[in-house]
Chain A
């Protein structure tokens, strides 16, 4: 890593670094996997993540512009702004609902829509880190997305009940099946798996 690069986050499968006006996400080799499998997985996942992220953007979901995909790394636009959890209020929660609805309408689930993976920039909520995302239109997958968001909200914010309502209002604006999703979320919660 060169002098202008600042390592910021080291996740389970990738290292994310800031480089000028860009963010570089690099999938690192895993010593426990044989090289053939490791290379194949990292290449496929990098390509898929970039594809899903640009498809989401094309569908009107605010996400960083992909600047380059190179083997195991994705270079993308750096979004300057505030992490959503630090600026959360009813209007922001409603925007998150609308953004997640737009993503789901494009047949994509994020996979990890925690407030850490959202940035408020110039009045818009950006979704970042599509590392666990997939093409999935099922009620179950969309329900898990919404449930994951509710969980982070409930754990970090005392205004959860009103924020939840605001989120649902935003989600229902363009997604007519919001009531079905909420039912699914309650069912997922009942199962206890994700408690």
Chain B
């Protein structure tokens, strides 16, 4: 089965064709803000201007008659972007006469991770700009065991980077600067059970700019925020009695975070895996592949219920494609 998937929830517009075994092709167009962070209207304008191009690119690589389904990111994400992606997906589905399937963006991150690593039943740490969650599969759903009580880790890094005058996206710059210091400045460490909060770190880090070197703040920022994420991941492994950890989402590219997770897993005898960075960041392949799994299990999205769902939570999706263990 070949499925075409379109991702467009925030910064990366991407279309891809996959079959059961692999990614056949992918075309992307990233929105890079000239100044500041992601502006929802401009991000949507970017999607509108480029969506025909990326779709045409992937369609040109195959005979469109071989495509058996159209998958699209239905949410969570920026409403104005999601609506354009949905419109394009509906048009394609009607034009090619193949089923439409709306995909939850978070679940797509998880499924592409399971596909591209060999983990079977992992605890998932999903960290991106807007989302930070710890999830675990049980009884046909990905359960959210813990999540941020305020902002996602990526937005947290970007927000601080912006107030420090660093260009968007801030995460990679903070990571580089953090390597230049070993002085730890205490910052708010907030973990409640398996939930956590980042807004206090942004305030503390921004405040510290007046008196502390940027390198020291970046180092302390990462050590504090990432320790929180690793701690809740470990608690999830322990409570659910699982022995695999999957890292998903764009912030998963951070080397220090990966190092900390692998140390934690090694100490408790768990396996730690993350897919390559092209499958960590937002990509069309993850939408196409999750759409393929859903279509294979008889799930389709009728036009009437294909509207954008900006606050779509992963635990709303009934997961029918995982064999019970």
Interface residues of A (CB under 8 A from B): 11-13, 30-34, 36-37, 40-41, 111-112, 132, 134, 192-193, 195
With both beta carbons as reference points, the residue of chain B lying nearest to A11 in the complex is identified as B238
Interface string of B228-253 (1 = CB under 8 A from A): 00110011011100000000000000
* Inter-subunit contact A36/B189 (CB<8 Å): no
Chain A residues with CB under 8 Å of B193's CB are 111-112, 132
* Inter-subunit contact A37/B235 (CB<8 Å): no
Contact among B189, B223, B234 with A12 in the assembled complex (CB-CB below 8 Å)? B234
* Inter-subunit contact B267/A31 (CB<8 Å): yes
* Inter-subunit contact B237/A36 (CB<8 Å): no
Interface size class of B (residues with CB under 8 A): 20 to 34
Distance of A37 Cα from B225 Cα, bound (Å):
11
Chain B residues with CB under 8 Å of A30's CB are 230-231, 234, 264, 267
* Inter-subunit contact B227/A37 (CB<8 Å): yes
A-B contact pairs, 29 of them (CB 8 A): A11-B238, A12-B231, A12-B239, A13-B231, A13-B234, A30-B234, A30-B264, A30-B267, A31-B263, A31-B264, A32-B230, A32-B259, A32-B263, A32-B264, A32-B267, A33-B223, A33-B227, A33-B260, A34-B184, A36-B186, A37-B186, A37-B189, A37-B223, A37-B224, A111-B193, A193-B315, A195-B141, A195-B143, A195-B315
Q: Secondary structure at chain B's binding surface: helix, strand, loop or mixed?
A: helix
With A11-B238, A12-B238, A193-B315 as contacts: A36 and B184 at CB distance below 8 Å: yes
Q: Secondary structure at chain A's binding surface: helix, strand, loop or mixed?
A: loop
Chain A residues with CB under 8 Å of B224's CB are 37
Chain A residues with CB under 8 Å of B143's CB are 195
With both beta carbons as reference points, the residue of chain A lying nearest to B139 in the complex is identified as A195
| List of 9 A-B pairs having minimum Cβ-Cβ separation, nearest first | A12-B238, A32-B260, A32-B263, A12-B235, A36-B184, A32-B264, A31-B263, A33-B227, A12-B234
Is residue B192 within 8 Å, beta carbon to beta carbon, of the partner chain? yes
Shortest CB–CB separation between residue A48 and chain B, in angstroms? 13
Distance of A85 Cα from B264 Cα, bound (Å):
31
Chain B residues with CB under 8 Å of A41's CB are 189
Which of A12, A30, A41, A111 gathers most chain B CB within 10 Å?
A: A12
Distance of A36 Cα from B220 Cα, bound (Å):
11
User: Which residues of B (204-234) have their CB < 8 Å from a CB of A?
Assistant: 223-224, 227, 230-231, 234
Chain B residues with CB under 8 Å of A31's CB are 263-264, 267
**Given pairs A30-B230, A30-B264, 11 additional interface contacts (CB within 8 A):** A30-B231, A31-B264, A32-B260, A32-B261, A33-B227, A33-B230, A33-B260, A34-B223, A37-B223, A37-B227, A40-B186
* Inter-subunit contact A192/B238 (CB<8 Å): no
Interface string of B177-205 (1 = CB under 8 A from A): 00000001010010011000000000000
Interface string of B139-152 (1 = CB under 8 A from A): 00101100000000
Distance of A193 Cα from B263 Cα, bound (Å):
29
* Inter-subunit contact B227/A32 (CB<8 Å): yes
Chain B residues with CB under 8 Å of A33's CB are 223, 227, 230, 260
Chain A residues with CB under 8 Å of B237's CB are 12
Distance of A160 Cα from B144 Cα, bound (Å):
24
Distance of A40 Cα from B185 Cα, bound (Å):
12
Distance of A111 Cα from B238 Cα, bound (Å):
16
Chain B residues with CB under 8 Å of A37's CB are 184, 186, 189, 223-224, 227
Chain A residues with CB under 8 Å of B231's CB are 12-13, 30
Shortest CB–CB separation between residue A178 and chain B, in angstroms? 23
* Inter-subunit contact B192/A134 (CB<8 Å): yes
Chain A residues with CB under 8 Å of B267's CB are 30-32
Contact among A13, A40, A193 with B144 in the assembled complex (CB-CB below 8 Å)? A193
Distance of A193 Cα from B143 Cα, bound (Å):
7
